[in-house]
Structure 1
Amino acid sequence: MQNIKNKLTLAKIRDQFPALNRTLKGKKVVYFDGPGGTQMCQPSIHRMMDYIESGMANRDGLFPTSEETEAILSQARAEIAALVNGYESGVFFGNNMTSLAYSISRMIGRDWKAGDEIVVTELDHSANVDPWVQIAEEKGMMIRRIPVDVDSLTLDNSAIDTLIHSKTKAVFLGLASNGVGTINDVKPYIEASKTVGALTVIDAVQAIPHIAVDQKALSADLVLGSGYKVFGPHIGFASMDPDLLSKYKPYKLIPAHNEHPSSMETGTQNHEGISGMIGAVEFIESFGEGESKRQKIVNAYQLFEQKEHQMASFLKDEISKIKGVKMFIPPSHVPSTPIISFVVSGIPSSTISKYLADEHTIFAANGNFYAYQLANKLDVMKYDGWLRVGLSPYNTLEECERFINGLKDCLKMYL
């Protein structure tokens, strides 16, 4: 019965992604590039098109289409708050996570000064490093970095007490690595930050597609996410503790909205994209059970995790048997997202990526994926970076088998 249920669930998931019908050279395309951007689910597409087709409008108008835009913004804030167990009155949107990080860094860094300190990690995507480092450098601040253990691919927790202290203004942490999949234990860093009154900013971009992120349980001040990494449109979103948000003065146009969180949204927003995020959360919720929206979301993630773990375990086992391949994945006891990154001795990762696309219609990217500090520390750029397989709930074991066969064919061709 469980297998039948799983098959029915898989079919239901895949039916929600029109892009899965694409073919290339007579073969169905396999999308293993989820960490760079998932495919968009049908509810998200429907929400966007409904907003566009029924009449678009800017805010603050005393007519139906403008009032509908306001209602969409309000509903989207509630949906994102449920998605990350965040703060509805602290949810705001932007072009993407990187743009949000840069704009927020100007606001929270306004009162930073020489002698103050911030803490970043060696494991993060640079979107949660560079914006903060750059403003800290402008202010003449000290920048401290949490080192990564190259064997376990985890953060070195032994450094907490020496890195976070009375001079620390903010600590920036990635909840999950986009390079190697590690799900970081950020709680000790957040607790240490609270003790000294430092702000905590969590990049949850790679975590949100795979696990039920819980901002309130983490006690994180700010959580950042990306819609296009979680079955939605190209848009960024943030959830900030509203009590903390009220203490900051954002950079904004004088006549623009003064109330939070609207004050954080500079210019006219991507209203159709924001509408699409409602559909993305509805998609996740539809696979869960429970009395509340949040309970359904958490339950749905349990289903997604089970399915993704099965596929990731298969890939890791099969790739480990192939001579000349070195995987960069955390040990089995370390929680991780379904990312499998590896290099092949003697073949550039770009060659493998191109071969898989051209000969097997499998799309898997290569590079440093903006986790450049980690890529440099692991010395993978001499291979053109990692070849990264990123799984999503719409992927299948059959696609994983196709990948293994394609990889073996590639090695036969070039070795």
Structure 2
Amino acid sequence: MHNPTIQVTMANIRDQFPSLKRTYNGRQVVYFDGPGGTQMCQPAITRMMNYIENGMANLDGLFATSKETEAILTQARDDIASLINGYKDGVFFGNNMTSLAYPISRMLSRNWGAGDEIVVTELDHSANVDPWVQAAEEKGVKIQRIPVHTGSLTLDDSVIETMIHSRTKAVFLGLASNGVGTINDVKPYIDAAKAAGAITVIDAVQAIPHIAVDQQGLGADLVLGSGYKVFGPHIGFASMNPALFSSYQPYKLIPASNEYPSAMETGTINFEGIAAMSGAVEFIESLGEGDSKRERIVHAYEKFEQHEQEMASFLKEELSKIKGVNLYVPASQTPSTPTISFVVEGLLSSTISKYLADEHSIFAGHGNFYAHQLAQKLGVMKYDGWLRVGLSPYNTLEECERFIDALKECITIHLLKQRQ
């Protein structure tokens, strides 16, 4: 049985996040901006600082710090593979998901041409739309867009047979929406793409903080994630099926390594951030039980889901009682992350966000959050976009209650001012 180096339970999980101790304007801060970036856990901070304090180096040196850096990179690849049931020989790192998507788009589109097609969705973050669309436009490739049902906030799966076929080169899907929290059933799309000979790329950035992502179980060719959305540093990572590396040639410097996955990493990468990612995975693993790292990670996510969904259910119920609040969340029978977006009739979301921060030290973002196609389709930009509450395992029901009280106060004060 595993004996983690840190002993964490859901009861003392907040002790692992130093930033939760911060106060702002005389009040303890409430971080409800998880979809934009979680707070960093102590094991990630510790591993990052240990690497920095004990000597940093680049790769390929015949000295201790270089060899240690290589070992840290190897360990991080293994840890990310365990986190998402990916491929340790296919894990590579970059600045963030968007910065990874652009060079990947160049690599995938090398052999695209007229008559080819790609598939994206209307529900996704722009990082899983624009890099692929721009590459397709340059190559004269047709772009298919899977529609979103505005009522259910789910993808229209009736188009699978008509949109994915022998001319399809790649299908790009988001596993969870950063705008409205919908967890998409991507398996039917992946299966259709596989049957058509198309590659599948999954944006799992918003899913990885909340559910046990299973790349191999889904059959996804490439999965993208962000460390700073899952208790780690500002870094991006990807896992690609190594069997596909021989089919694609990345753009890189001539003397750079031709071996995969390092051939995907241009220039010197963020080794201190990579060290921290192993700490983030260690933290998640420490919350679970099981005979393997993967089993412990999956068990930890079960605890996350139970805790987060309890808070999310409370917020949805209370928000639905407030006059003028229009919720943009999937129906209860649709799986979703604890991301709750809404607008308030007669108020800008920016006004609410600023009031919550200045008067109650509650940090919740507003805007389209780069899910701009969805935001435009739902007509929320007249409110300055959504007000988004994104919960994380370190949040509490008491913080949710505090938020509801603060929101009611904000609505009362500002609407009263408007009437005067």
Aligned to 1:226: 226
Opposite residue 246 of structure 1, the aligned amino acid is S
Opposite residue 44 of structure 1, the aligned amino acid is A
> 1:360-371, aligned counterparts within 5 Å?
360-371=360-371
Aligned to 2:357: 357
Superposed CA offset, 1:193-244 (max 9, x none): 0111000000000000000000000000000000000000000000000001
1:407 aligned onto 2:407 = yes
Please give the secondary structure, in 2, of the residue aligned with 1:202: strand
Aligned to 1:382: 382
Aligned to 2:258: 258
Aligned to 1:186: 186
Opposite residue 340 of structure 2, the aligned amino acid is I
Aligned to 1:52: 52
Tell me, yes or no, if the aligned pair for 2:328 and 2:341 is still in contact at 8 Å.
Answer: yes
Q: How many aligned residue pairs are there?
A: 408
The two structures have a TM-score, normalised by structure 2, of 0.97
Aligned to 1:277: 277
Aligned to 1:139: 139
Superposed CA offset, 1:338-371 (max 9, x none): 0110000000000000000000000000000000
Aligned to 1:103: 103
Tell me, yes or no, if the aligned pair for 2:96 and 2:226 is still in contact at 8 Å.
Answer: yes
Tell me, yes or no, if the aligned pair for 2:180 and 2:330 is still in contact at 8 Å.
Answer: yes
- 8-17 or 235-244: which moved more? 8-17
CA distance in 2 between counterparts of 1:196 and 1:412 reads 55
Please give the secondary structure, in 2, of the residue aligned with 1:34: coil
User: How far 1:249 sits from its partner (Å)?
Assistant: 1.0
Aligned to 2:334: 334
Tell me, yes or no, if the aligned pair for 1:246 and 1:260 is still in contact at 8 Å.
Answer: no
CA distance in 2 between counterparts of 1:146 and 1:249 reads 28
User: How far 1:115 sits from its partner (Å)?
Assistant: 1.4
Please give the secondary structure, in 2, of the residue aligned with 1:255: coil
Opposite residue 410 of structure 2, the aligned amino acid is C
CA distance in 1 between counterparts of 2:92 and 2:277 reads 12
CA distance in 2 between counterparts of 1:266 and 1:12 reads 40
The two structures have a TM-score, normalised by structure 1, of 0.98
Please give the secondary structure, in 2, of the residue aligned with 1:341: strand
CA distance in 2 between counterparts of 1:95 and 1:189 reads 28
User: How far 1:406 sits from its partner (Å)?
Assistant: 0.4
1:311 aligned onto 2:311 = yes
1:217 aligned onto 2:217 = yes
Superposed CA offset, 1:122-152 (max 9, x none): 0000000000000100001100000000010
User: How far 1:246 sits from its partner (Å)?
Assistant: 2.4
CA distance in 2 between counterparts of 1:99 and 1:236 reads 8
Tell me, yes or no, if the aligned pair for 2:175 and 2:203 is still in contact at 8 Å.
Answer: yes
> 1:10-49, aligned counterparts within 5 Å?
10-49=10-49
Opposite residue 62 of structure 2, the aligned amino acid is L
Structure 1 residues not aligned, in runs of 5+: 1-7
CA distance in 1 between counterparts of 2:89 and 2:96 reads 20
CA distance in 2 between counterparts of 1:245 and 1:373 reads 32
Opposite residue 102 of structure 1, the aligned amino acid is Y
Tell me, yes or no, if the aligned pair for 2:10 and 2:287 is still in contact at 8 Å.
Answer: no
User: How far 1:112 sits from its partner (Å)?
Assistant: 0.4
Aligned to 2:201: 201
Where does structure 1 differ by over 6 angstroms across 4 or more consecutive aligned residues?
none
CA distance in 1 between counterparts of 2:163 and 2:247 reads 25
CA distance in 2 between counterparts of 1:305 and 1:141 reads 40
User: How far 1:248 sits from its partner (Å)?
Assistant: 1.2
CA distance in 2 between counterparts of 1:168 and 1:130 reads 17
Opposite residue 157 of structure 2, the aligned amino acid is N
User: How far 1:11 sits from its partner (Å)?
Assistant: 3.7
CA distance in 1 between counterparts of 2:11 and 2:399 reads 14
Structure 2 residues not aligned, in runs of 5+: 1-7, 416-420
Please give the secondary structure, in 2, of the residue aligned with 1:109: helix
Superposed CA offset, 1:368-407 (max 9, x none): 0000000000000000000000000000000000000000
User: How far 1:56 sits from its partner (Å)?
Assistant: 0.2
CA distance in 1 between counterparts of 2:244 and 2:255 reads 23
CA distance in 2 between counterparts of 1:253 and 1:72 reads 23
Aligned to 2:166: 166
CA distance in 2 between counterparts of 1:281 and 1:254 reads 34
CA distance in 2 between counterparts of 1:241 and 1:24 reads 45
- 239-248 or 281-290: which moved more? 239-248
User: How far 1:46 sits from its partner (Å)?
Assistant: 0.3
User: How far 1:12 sits from its partner (Å)?
Assistant: 1.9
CA distance in 2 between counterparts of 1:381 and 1:245 reads 41
Aligned to 1:61: 61
Opposite residue 389 of structure 1, the aligned amino acid is V
**CA RMSD for the aligned pairs?**
0.7
Tell me, yes or no, if the aligned pair for 2:107 and 2:249 is still in contact at 8 Å.
Answer: yes
Aligned to 1:75: 75
Please give the secondary structure, in 1, of the residue aligned with 2:178: coil
Aligned to 1:5: none
Opposite residue 65 of structure 1, the aligned amino acid is T
CA distance in 1 between counterparts of 2:10 and 2:252 reads 45
User: How far 1:10 sits from its partner (Å)?
Assistant: 3.4
CA distance in 1 between counterparts of 2:366 and 2:24 reads 20
Opposite residue 214 of structure 2, the aligned amino acid is D
Please give the secondary structure, in 2, of the residue aligned with 1:56: coil
CA distance in 2 between counterparts of 1:68 and 1:377 reads 50
CA distance in 2 between counterparts of 1:45 and 1:194 reads 40
CA distance in 2 between counterparts of 1:76 and 1:357 reads 36
Aligned to 1:3: none
User: How far 1:301 sits from its partner (Å)?
Assistant: 0.1
